[in-house]
Amino acid sequence: MKRLIYTILLMSLSVRAQHVSVEMYNQQMENDSYGTPLGSPDGSTTLTKEIDDEISLLSPAQKASFKAQVERTQNNIVRPPGGQETTVSPYQNTDFSQKRGSSSRKLYKKLANDTQQTKKKQNEQMRSEFPLERDAAHKDTKELVKKGIEFFNRNRIDKVCHAFTHTNTFVRGDISLFLLDINGSYMASGEGQSSVLWQNIASMSDNSIVKIEDLFELAKTNNGWLHYNWRNGTRVIYVEVVVKEGKKYILGGGYYSFSQADHVVNLVKQAVVDFERKKREGKPVADAFSDMSYPLGRFNNGNLYLFAYDFNGNTMAHGNDPTSIGTNQLDLQDSDGVYIHREMIEKLKHATEGVWLTYKYHRATKRSYIEKVISSEGVPYFIGCGYYPEADQKAVINLVERGYEYLKTVGKTQAAEAFTTKENDDFRYGDIYLFVYDMQGYCIANGKDPVAVGRDYYNAKDDQGNDFVKIFLEHATVTGAWVNLPNKNSIESVYLRIVNMGNQRLVIGAGVYPASKEETMILLVKSAVSFINVNDSSQLFAQASESNGRFIRGNLEVFVLNDNGFCLVYGNQLPTIWQNFMNSKDDDGRPYVKIMINSALSGPSRVKYRLNGATKEAYVQSVKKDGKNYIIGASRYLTAW
């Protein structure tokens, strides 16, 4: 839309001038709603260069006029009842041919056509299930599985299992292969998890979501993909049926996804499996929905929670607001006038699988994934989960800074009301909200839970036993500081500022959960550092080695070394304990562990190295405890996805 405004306004300016930097324009392009250039659907042609060329010919005075006109035109964007944006331009009735000649007419016609095509493409992209990074991960996984199948068909079963389990031939960064027999037992696994061999996948998986019959059924289709919980993470696998000497096996490969889209799908699919299982057991639907609404249950993960409605809009479950259960939300609208639940119901009426819906909520873009379920009585419901792709650490800082200035300007009472009132979105952005405590631990404002206001939280503990308010008060600074705490089966990163209000000091803050593998890696390490600072070192080693413990997320696991290179813990890879890795070399012959140790002793560091033919990055910190130096870290492959 902004690029359309720019082009129309440029056509209204008739005087050409010298080249000039277009910093303002570039900034506007970076903030474009979809972030894709105008042009043909395949991206082969764009108008970006043509518009740049036009801007470069304006004089400084004309550029100032141009900027003002852009702002005025943006303010004239209107939305008809159907919800689609249209622009009322100050030059709507202008004859462009008189202003700019035939070349401008051609440009304008091209713009009109390209805008329609691009808008369609952008809407399809926003409605798509996953970002492009997911496509790359799927492509790499499927290619590796195909390579494994070729090897399987040419070799004996023992040689196949050895190659998958003990060599790097079938490892591509984070992706590795596995082989299951017809009973679901692991015959081979290349994840470095030898403890899973001969274990049954159905008995090992979280919430019994993976069953061998499901895998065989999936493998028969053209889309043998499955999401499930494993090691506190979202595991995504691709499987195919293979046959040797008349026996069937499942050969598959997979990776741990740290994208919010995959987490959302995983939560919904878990809930659907749980719903169907309880239906088979003859339990009432209320039994399944009650589990989805428990705020500290397995269906709540950080800022992700489930919701469920019937097709009349009645709330059956809500993990973020259980008080809404029983209310009718059929006419709930977003800020653009979209009837959210009506849209969801309409989409599901014509869908054979789960669907996505993008809408605005609390001033931010939200993407929700929903699936339909039917009770044993034939009543349809839908279960969903959503996330805010733009609610990140930058948004947290911006909201806290705005709240800080407002608090200083209008005072504690008025600011506390504005921060807490749920009907007021001025101090919310998606699922980010403000809270305020005084230095005695009393809650002054809470945008998520108004009931908390006025209560004493000084000795309150979170679900991990941490005195979270005490930690807030201890770590907050005048200029702003981050603190990381485990919360709701995830790790929350909270930004805090001290506010001096005359004779009283307050702490204002807001939090966000990791949205990428990089963020999760860093938060795991920082969380482990905080843990060892207040606990005995052996307690950290014990907890870090638990396969479903707080310091493992998928294939991200905390490791601890001493400064002589001995491994004290590396996730649940117990054989690594007391091995010395000081002289271990990466694929390029570099002593990467020695580099990690030396770097960490100088301060928190990132170290890159190559293993299994791919680049890996470790984040490491040094902690001194009882006179000893411990190197605490975690690592990830720097894949394209």
The pLDDT tens digits of the residues spanning 525-543 come to 988 998 898 889 999 999 9
- Please give the Cα distance from 562 to 548 (Å, whole number): 24
3-state DSSP helix/strand/coil percent for the chain, to nearest 5? Answer: 40, 30, 35
More reliable by pLDDT, 552 or 1: 552
- Work out whether the CA dihedral 340, 342, 345, 349 comes out positive or negative: negative
Please give the model's pTM, rounded to 2 decimal places: 0.71
Element (H, E) at 499: strand 490-501
Taking only the tens place, the pLDDT of each residue in 279-332 is: 988 999 998 899 898 876 778 888 899 999 999 999 999 998 888 999 999 999
Is the pLDDT confidence value at 123 over 90? no
Q: Give bridge partners of residue 357 from the DSSP assignment.
A: 368
pLDDT of amino acid 48? 40
Is the pLDDT confidence value at 68 over 80? no
User: Within a 13 Å sphere around the CA of 38, how many CA atoms are in the beta-carbon half?
Assistant: 24
pLDDT of amino acid 554? 86
What are the structure tokens assigned to 19, written together?
Answer: 């080249």
Measured in degrees and rounded to the nearest 5, phi and psi for residue 186 equal: -70, 120
Is the pLDDT confidence value at 355 over 60? yes
**203-212, 351-360, 556-565: least confident range:** 203-212
Candidates 312, 321, 271; CA nearest to 292 is 271
Phi-psi region of 446 (alpha: psi -120 to 50; beta: other; left: phi over 0): beta
Is the pLDDT confidence value at 551 over 80? yes
User: Within a 13 Å sphere around the CA of 449, how many CA atoms are in the beta-carbon half?
Assistant: 10
More reliable by pLDDT, 514 or 28: 514
65 class by beta-carbon count within 10 Å (0-12 exposed, 13-18 middle, 19+ buried) = middle
Is the pLDDT confidence value at 31 over 90? no
What are the structure tokens assigned to 56, written together?
Answer: 């470069």
CA 161 to chain centre: 35
CA 344 to chain centre: 22
What are the structure tokens assigned to 422, written together?
Answer: 């749920």
pLDDT of amino acid 129? 46
pLDDT of amino acid 248? 92
Alpha helices in 155-236 (DSSP H): 157-166, 201-204, 212-220
- Please give the Cα distance from 295 to 303 (Å, whole number): 11
Taking only the tens place, the pLDDT of each residue in 151-194 is: 999 999 999 999 999 998 999 888 999 999 988 889 999 866 66
Task: Find out whether 591 and 558 touch, Cβ atoms under 8 Å.
Answer: no
Task: Order across the sheet with 614-625: list the strands.
Answer: 567-570, 559-562, 628-637, 614-625, 605-611
pLDDT of amino acid 311? 96
pLDDT of amino acid 138? 86
pLDDT of amino acid 203? 63
What DSSP state is assigned to residue 564?
T
Let me know how long the chain is.
641
Task: Find out whether 253 and 141 touch, Cβ atoms under 8 Å.
Answer: yes
Taking only the tens place, the pLDDT of each residue in 92-109 is: 333 333 334 444 444 444
What are the structure tokens assigned to 303, written together?
Answer: 């800022």
Mean per-residue pLDDT, 368-397: 94
- Please give the Cα distance from 300 to 277 (Å, whole number): 19
Task: Find out whether 521 and 556 touch, Cβ atoms under 8 Å.
Answer: yes
More reliable by pLDDT, 253 or 215: 253
More reliable by pLDDT, 4 or 193: 193
Mean per-residue pLDDT, 45-59: 43
User: Within a 13 Å sphere around the CA of 152, how many CA atoms are in the beta-carbon half?
Assistant: 27
Mean per-residue pLDDT, 607-624: 94
What are the structure tokens assigned to 314, written together?
Answer: 């009645």
pLDDT of amino acid 465? 78
pLDDT of amino acid 126? 40
CA 280 to chain centre: 33
Measured in degrees and rounded to the nearest 5, phi and psi for residue 476 equal: -65, 145
pLDDT of amino acid 23? 34
Mean per-residue pLDDT, 433-447: 96
pLDDT of amino acid 352? 86
- Please give the Cα distance from 610 to 615 (Å, whole number): 4
- Please give the Cα distance from 379 to 288 (Å, whole number): 14
pLDDT of amino acid 633? 97
- Reported confidence tier of residue 195, pLDDT bands at 50, 70, 90: confident
- Please give the Cα distance from 592 to 61 (Å, whole number): 57
Is the pLDDT confidence value at 56 over 60? no
332 class by beta-carbon count within 10 Å (0-12 exposed, 13-18 middle, 19+ buried) = middle
What DSSP state is assigned to residue 176?
E
- Please give the Cα distance from 214 to 223 (Å, whole number): 13
Is the pLDDT confidence value at 264 over 80? yes
351 to 127, 227, 265, 386: CA distances (angstroms): 14, 20, 16, 18
Most confident of 22-26, 31-35, 174-178: 174-178
CA 195 to chain centre: 30
CA 413 to chain centre: 35
- Please give the Cα distance from 596 to 603 (Å, whole number): 11
pLDDT of amino acid 353? 87
**Read out DSSP for 287-321?**
HHHHHHH-TTSTT-BTTB-EEEEETT-BEEEESS-
Residues 6+ apart with CB under 8 A from 551: 524, 527, 528, 540, 543, 544, 557, 558, 571
- Please give the Cα distance from 346 to 327 (Å, whole number): 20
- Give the Cα-Cα-Cα angle 513, 514, 515 (nearest 5 degrees): 115
Q: What is the CA radius of gyration of the chain?
A: 28
**What's the whole-number average pLDDT of the chain?**
79
